[in-house]
Each structure stands twice: as structure tokens, then as C-alpha cells.
Amino acid sequence: MELKMETRQLNLFYGGFQALRDVNLQIKPREITAIIGPSGCGKSTLLRCLNRMNELIRNVRTTGQILLDGRDIHDQAMELTSLRRRVGMVFQRPNPFPLSVFDNVAYGPRVHGTTDGAKLQAIVENALRATDLWNELKDRRNSPALALSPEQQQRLCISRLVAVEPEVLLMDEPCSALDPIATARVEELMRELAHSYAIVIVTHNMQQAARVSSETVFMLLGDLVEAGRTARIFENPRDKRTEEYISGRYG
Amino acid sequence: MSAHLAREIEALKQRMLHLCAIVEENLHKAVKAIELRDAAMAEEVVRKDVEIDDIEVETEEECLKILALYQPVAKDLRFIVAILKINNDLERIGDLSVNIAKQVCHLAMATKVAFPSELWDMTDKTRAMLKGSLDSLINLDPELARQVCVADKEVDALNKQVIEQAKEKMEGATPEHLDALIRMISVARHLERIGDHATNIAEDIFYMINGEIVRHKLSKKSLPPAG
């Protein structure tokens, strides 16, 4: 199977501290890959590498390759705005802009040059439908996004990504601010979206990784310890460190 | 693993060891009762089986509780799943021991018919298989488990020999004698089934340790038979 994204011998340094060590990560298209590991293992750092978010931090240096459809994302020819459109990020806390629901979703397409009103209307509707928000919010499109519930805000943030037709969705603890029912809805949404996109989720919640992902990656102290099919990792992990972590014996 | 889960698993292990000990003892008594034509001992086996049934239900409830409350993964998950299955096999072995014991009540009254040495070989081997499977559970020893699976073939072969011998003796036998021979075949069949359950237990232990489902595969691997 062709990989959607891949890192090869990826190393990352925050100044003198090495946060990732020779990481070889493989992301399959139209599947959910969960990255698990204890705090400070480098999972969020690895996620942020995939759309070059780490470059916003000072003193960060990386070596190795990150490929999107086989092309290095650090290539001169790969524009950063185009990369971030293709590889979008959902954050831990929902972060809608202080704008209306409509303007939040239309923001990306506008930045990328869509000005036609009817076209924007259609994009917004599709994006809201994709996250199952359309029926809830179609009459409140002009309401402020910040007035929505946390779950709706998070789904709106996902709609905002969907509107620019991404290829990969990166999710950093997307449900940690949500209650169990809202979490279940967002997980269901992730499964739906996985029919169209590759999804990479970083989560502290191992049950969530087991529930939603088809591939699981376990990281520890900057190393990618083990990767494989989720059912196999949770039933019969090969590495003792994975076994200890997922069964709660670590630390 | 949380301390709670560790405690639950340890308690489950102890309960399982207790069940193993009773099942093994009951099979031993059932076979001994046949050998000695001891109806009183057979009665004891039947009575003790009630306790086995109770522990089986309690063990299953414990496993379900642990699955529901702790969602164990990796080796904890494999342990619970294996225990659920082993529990069931042990209860079946208990029932088969009762079936064997029940034959004694008839045999005790029947004319003394000499049983072939193969039947006693079979009882020894079946008991050794059960012991081997339980030892492999206690010591988490996959090699012991593998030997149990290999030994099942020998028990099957002995069972066939017992049936052949019985068939030969049936010619010209008195009705009373015939009844004893049919009961002997029945005992052999129960022993053979116990061997199968011991094999199931061994396979589940192999899974518990290695995470590999070896059912239908293990006995085919070329390994020395169990001592």
C-alpha cells in the first residue's frame, strides 16, 4: 500500500535536547493512526513535524525526511501554506476564530482565493455537513462561533479544515476538553472522515486509541518503540515497553 | 496495571488454582473408584462436583467483572480470556469425572470383568495430561503445554485399542458381562474426552503466554511425546 505520509530517520532537537530519535513513522491513506505514549515522549512533537508547526518554535532543528505522497515537505517547491492546507491540525482545545460560524468555515477557502459567494455557501454547507453540524447550525450561521458548546466548537474546527479539502488531518488530543458523550460523537466523526482522509491522532486515552484507530504507534523518550495494527498492539504487543505502558505497569 | 486490577488478577489466580486442585482430585477419585469398584468413593465424586460447578460460575462472574471494570489489555487481557475458557474446560472435566464415577455403581454390582491394561494406561495418561496442563498454567510453561497436546494422540490411540479389545471380548459374552464391557467403553470415551479438554487448556495456556492461537496446529508440530 502507498503511504500517505512517512518520516525517515527523523531527529528533532529543541536546542541541545533531542526530542525525537531516528523516527520512522508510516501513515496509511484513509486510516486512523493513533500515537500513544507517556507525557514528554515526543508524540505531539512528532505530530507537529508533519505540517511543519515546529518551525514556529525557536531553536528547533530537525534532520531526516518527512514525505507527503513521496515528496519531502521541506522541498523548496513545497509551499508552507499549501502544505498546511493539505495537512491540517485540530488542537486540544477548540480554537474557533472570534467570528461567525460561517466566517470560521469560509476563512480558509477565502485565504486560498475563493471569493464567489455562492461557491462559499456551498463549501460551508458541505463542510458543516461533513461534521454533522449542518442541521444544528444552519439557522445560526451568523452566530458567533465562541457561543457554541465545546463539542460543537471542536466539530466546527474540523469543518474549518474540511473546507479547504485537506488530505491528512492531525489531531492533538482532540477530545480531552470534551465530556464522554461529546467524545463519542467526535470519535464517530473521525471514523466517518477516515473514509476520505488519513487521520493521525495523538491521545493520552489508550481506550480511545484502541476504539478509533486501525494503526497504533507507541513512543517513549523520543523513540518510536513499536507500530502495528491496533488490535495486535493491544492484544499481543511485541515490545516489553509497549506491554508495560498499555497495561499500566509503566512508571 | 492499577493495584486494584493486580489484586483482582491475583485473587482470580488463587481461585483457579483451587478449582484445578478439586478437578484433579475428583478425576483421581473417579478412576480409583473404577479400579477398586468402590461405590462410596464414586458417590463422593458426584457430591464434590457441585462445588466445582459453583466455583465455575463464580470464576466466570469474576472474569466478566474484571473485563467490564478494568478493560485489561495485552497479557492481562489474554490471561482473563484464557481463564474464561480454561474454567469451562475444567467444569466439563468435572462432569466427565462424574460420568465415570456413575459407571462404578453399576460395575460394583456386576460380575468382575478384567479390564485391559490399555484402559489403565489410558487413565494414567489422561491424568498426566490434566496434571501437565495445570502445571503449565501454574508455571506458565509453553513447552509443558505443547507436550500435553502431543500426548492427546496417544490417548486417542489407546481409546481405539480399548474398544477393539472390548469388541473381541463381546463375542459369546453373557448379558451381564456385555453390560460391563459397554460401561468400560463408556469410561474410555469419557477419558478420551477429558484428554481433549486437557488439550484445550494447554492450547489456551499457549495463547496466554505467546499470544498465538495454536488450536488445530500444536499437536502437528514434531515434538517428543510427554513423558
Q: What mean pLDDT value characterizes chain B?
A: 90
Percent helix, strand and coil across chain B, each to the nearest 5: 85, 0, 15
ipTM: 0.71
Split at pLDDT 50, 70, 90, the class of A224 is very high
Of B74, B211, B212, the CB nearest to A247: B74
Q: What is the CATH number that goes with domain A1-21+31-85+199-251?
A: 3.40.50.300
CA distance A221 to chain B (A): 20
CA distance A203 to chain B (A): 17
Asked if residue B220 has pLDDT above 80, the reply is: no
Q: Which residue of A has its CA nearest to B79?
A: A235
Task: Show residues of chain A in contact with B73, CB under 8 Å.
Answer: 206, 210, 234-235, 246-247
CATH class of the domain whose range is B3-220: mainly alpha
Is B189 in the A-facing interface, judged by CB distances under 8 Å? no
Of A207, A210, A247, the CB nearest to B75: A247
Mean per-residue pLDDT, A166-193: 90
Task: Show residues of chain A in contact with B71, CB under 8 Å.
Answer: 207
Counts for chain B of helices (H) and strands (E), in that order = 6, 0
In this predicted model, which residue has the larger pLDDT, B221 or A194?
A: A194
In this predicted model, which residue has the larger pLDDT, A190 or B227?
A: A190
Q: Do B5 and A249 touch (CB under 8 A)?
A: no
Strand A215-220 and strand A60-68: the pairing is: unpaired
CA B203 vs CA A57, B19, B94, B196: distances in Å? 54, 19, 19, 11
Which positions ≥6 away from B124 have C-beta within 8 Å? none
Give the model's pLDDT for residue A181: 87
CA distance A212 to chain B (A): 15
CA A241 vs CA A38, A55, B1: distances in Å? 11, 31, 13
In this predicted model, which residue has the larger pLDDT, B214 or B205?
A: B205
Q: How many residue pairs bridge chain A and chain B with CB atoms within 8 Å of each other?
A: 31
CA distance B218 to chain A (A): 19
Asked if residue B227 has pLDDT above 70, the reply is: no
| Ranges of each domain in chain A | 1-21+31-85+199-251, 89-165
Give the model's pLDDT for residue A251: 55
Q: Do A234 and B74 touch (CB under 8 A)?
A: yes
Residue type, B187: V
Asked if residue B226 has pLDDT above 50, the reply is: no
Residue A114, φ and ψ in degrees, nearest 5: -85, 120
Kindly state the cell numbers that stand for B130.
Answer: 490434566
Is B76 in the A-facing interface, judged by CB distances under 8 Å? yes
**Residue A235 in contact with residue B74, Cβ under 8 Å?**
yes
Split at pLDDT 50, 70, 90, the class of B108 is low
Task: Show residues of chain A in contact with B81, CB under 8 Å.
Answer: none
Asked if residue B3 has pLDDT above 90, the reply is: no
* DSSP states of chain A: ---SEEEEEEEEEETTEEEEEEE--EE-TTSEEEEE-STTSSHHHHHHHTTTGGGGSTTEEEEEEEEETTEETTSTTS-HHHHHHHEEEE-SS----SSBHHHHHHHHHHHTT---HHHHHHHHHHHHHHTT-HHHHGGGTTSBGGGS-HHHHHHHHHHHHHTT--SEEEEESTTTTS-HHHHHHHHHHHHHHTTTSEEEEE-S-HHHHHHH-SEEEEEETTEEEEEEEHHHHHHS-SSHHHHHHHTT---
Asked if residue A139 has pLDDT above 50, the reply is: yes
Calculate ∠ Cα A107-A110-A112, nearest 5°: 110
Per residue in B73-98, pLDDT (tens digit) is 999 999 999 999 999 999 999 999 99
Split at pLDDT 50, 70, 90, the class of B223 is very low
| Ranges of each domain in chain B | 3-220
Bridge partners (DSSP) of residue A168 are A87, A198
Task: Show residues of chain B in contact with A234, CB under 8 Å.
Answer: 73-74, 77
Q: What mean pLDDT value characterizes chain A?
A: 93
CA A202 vs CA A141, A158, A173, A174, A212: distances in Å? 30, 15, 5, 8, 12
CA distance B2 to chain A (A): 6
Give the model's pLDDT for residue A89: 94
Task: Show residues of chain B in contact with A249, CB under 8 Å.
Answer: 1
**Residue A35 in contact with residue A43, Cβ under 8 Å?**
yes
Which positions ≥6 away from B23 have C-beta within 8 Å? B52, B90, B93, B94, B97, B130
d(CA A156, CA A151): 8
Asked if residue B112 has pLDDT above 80, the reply is: no
Is B6 in the A-facing interface, judged by CB distances under 8 Å? no
d(CA B128, CA B148): 8
